[in-house]
Chains A and B, each alone.
Chain A
Amino acid sequence: MPDFIVQWLNQNDIFTATTMLHYWDGMVTTVQLVFLSLLLGLIVAVPLAVLRTSRNPFISGPVWIYTYLFRGTPLLIQLYVIYYGVAQIEGIQETFWWEIFKEPFYPALLAFTLNTAAYTTEIIRGALAATPAGEIEAAKAYGMSWFMRLRRIVLPSAARRAVQAYSNEVIFMLHSSAIASVVTIVDLTGAARDIYSRFYAPFEAFIAVALIYMALTFTLVFVFRKLEQRLLRHLKPANG
């Protein structure tokens, strides 16, 4: 950090260079956790959503049960079950998985991924179900195979319809990630809790972190608005 900032920071008691760095580290953790869980969640959700639209109840049923369970219970419970539950699995302490799962970051990542994948599956399913029949008929008439139809016609068209609901899910995930601090992860909220208990200054500690979350949220809102404009460009009036 440049010296003049350090000097300025050292003039007040709470927002010193040390605490600012603590917030920064917390922000890095939050962004990593949210970004990774959203990315993995999306990768899982796309095939699941396709399975969920299957007419065969033995294929769509299990996916429905999964999304219903994860959307019907609080994320906090899912986090607790995975965080406390993993250690209870017989013999896990002897395998390499333990090296990964003894860090609280990974159980949290798993819980967040499973949760966001459930919501995202339903969002994409809704978009898939709303595909105009004519688009599929046209693709069939062109002799496209099932997979090519999916890749070239159905998924891109569904993505356009899903992007608005998905942007809400992304913001929701950013906000839900605050509970990572409960399982000893020092994310943004964890940093704020540390700073609160160190200085006994609830307003400063939590309002500062609220402002950081707000900045992150509105950045995401802005990015998604741009993305939506890009994806739905062809729907704009010609002289708009």
Chain B
Amino acid sequence: MLDLKGYGPALMEGAVVTIELAFLSLALALALGLLGATSKLSHNRFLRMTATTYTTLIRGVPDLVMMLLFYYGGQLAVNNLSDLIYERFGVDWFFQFNPFIAGVLTIGLIFGAYMTETFRGAFLAVDSGQIEAARAYGFTRWHTFRRVMIPQMMRHALPGIGNNWQVLLKTTALVSIIGLTDMVRVAEQAAKAERSPFLFFIPVALVYLALTAGSELFIKWLDKRANAGVVKGD
């Protein structure tokens, strides 16, 4: 076990926090992406406009600024809400907004916007004849979506999801700035205390490198599977 002047275990725990953060954010981003893409492709003008505003706003603002807004603003908003509830209903309720929640919300929201674009393109790549055929068989709209659209869309969405995931993974490092004890924060504190930055940052960089390299291989494998029945050059 790597000891690293006694900081080894703390770094390991930090790495676990980073991975949890990444996966929870990914789940939120995928959900928001599906929601956003279906809204963008819907016939409802209000939904289309909401989704377009969402993706445009997100693409204009740095992730760190959004994170600071959510973290500091989120606590203030929760405090105001809890004051309001206390005044109106006399219920004493308090909720501590923590960096982990702020991180998942921000990263999920940001990458939800990128996933929206990925899924939108992938949905458009599904042959419209497939949808017509499903409807002709009497599939309901939900059934068509789940049984025909989703499986065929995934093949086109996978490369985009993979790219977004790689960027997302590296974005998790930012959450250390708002005080989450992930591996970057542990390394920063250790580096300052021990005055040896390389000793702590290089292992953290290697963990990130291992995560991105591992993901690359996994996505390649998924991609091969998803394209199993596809005739090349078609």
A binding-site residues for B, Cβ under 8 Å: 69, 72-78, 80-81, 84-85, 88, 171, 174-179, 181-182, 189, 192-193, 196, 202-203, 206-207, 209-210, 213-214, 217-218
Q: How distant is the Cα of A181 from the Cα of B173 in the complex, in angstroms? A: 15
- Whether the Cβ atoms of A88 and B195 lie closer than 8 Å is yes
- Whether the Cβ atoms of A84 and B191 lie closer than 8 Å is yes
Which residues from chain B contact A192 at a C-beta distance below 8 Å?
A: 65, 68
Give 27 pairs: A residue, B residue, CB < 8 Å, sorted on A: A69-B205, A73-B208, A74-B171, A74-B173, A75-B170, A76-B176, A77-B204, A81-B198, A81-B205, A84-B197, A85-B198, A85-B201, A88-B197, A171-B59, A178-B64, A179-B174, A182-B177, A189-B65, A196-B68, A206-B65, A206-B72, A210-B60, A210-B61, A213-B60, A213-B62, A213-B65, A214-B60
Q: How distant is the Cα of A85 from the Cα of B198 in the complex, in angstroms? A: 7
User: B184 in the interface, Cβ–Cβ < 8 Å?
Assistant: yes
Which residues from chain A contact B176 at a C-beta distance below 8 Å?
A: 76
How many contacts A-B (CB < 8 Å)?
110
Grouping DSSP codes into helix (H, G, I), strand (E, B) and loop, the B interface class, with mixed when no group exceeds half, is: helix
Nearest opposing residue in chain B for A193, CB measure: B68
- Whether the Cβ atoms of A203 and B69 lie closer than 8 Å is yes
- Among the listed B62, B187, B208, which residue makes an inter-chain contact with A175, where contact means beta carbons less than 8 Å apart? B62
- Among the listed A76, A178, A182, which residue makes an inter-chain contact with B62, where contact means beta carbons less than 8 Å apart? A178
- Whether the Cβ atoms of B64 and A80 lie closer than 8 Å is no
- Whether the Cβ atoms of B69 and A207 lie closer than 8 Å is yes
- Among the listed B57, B62, B66, B205, which residue makes an inter-chain contact with A77, where contact means beta carbons less than 8 Å apart? B205
Which residues from chain A contact B201 at a C-beta distance below 8 Å?
A: 77, 80-81, 84-85
From B62, B174, B191, B196, residue with most partner A Cβ within 10 Å: B62
Distance from A136 Cβ to chain B, minimum over Cβ atoms (Å): 25
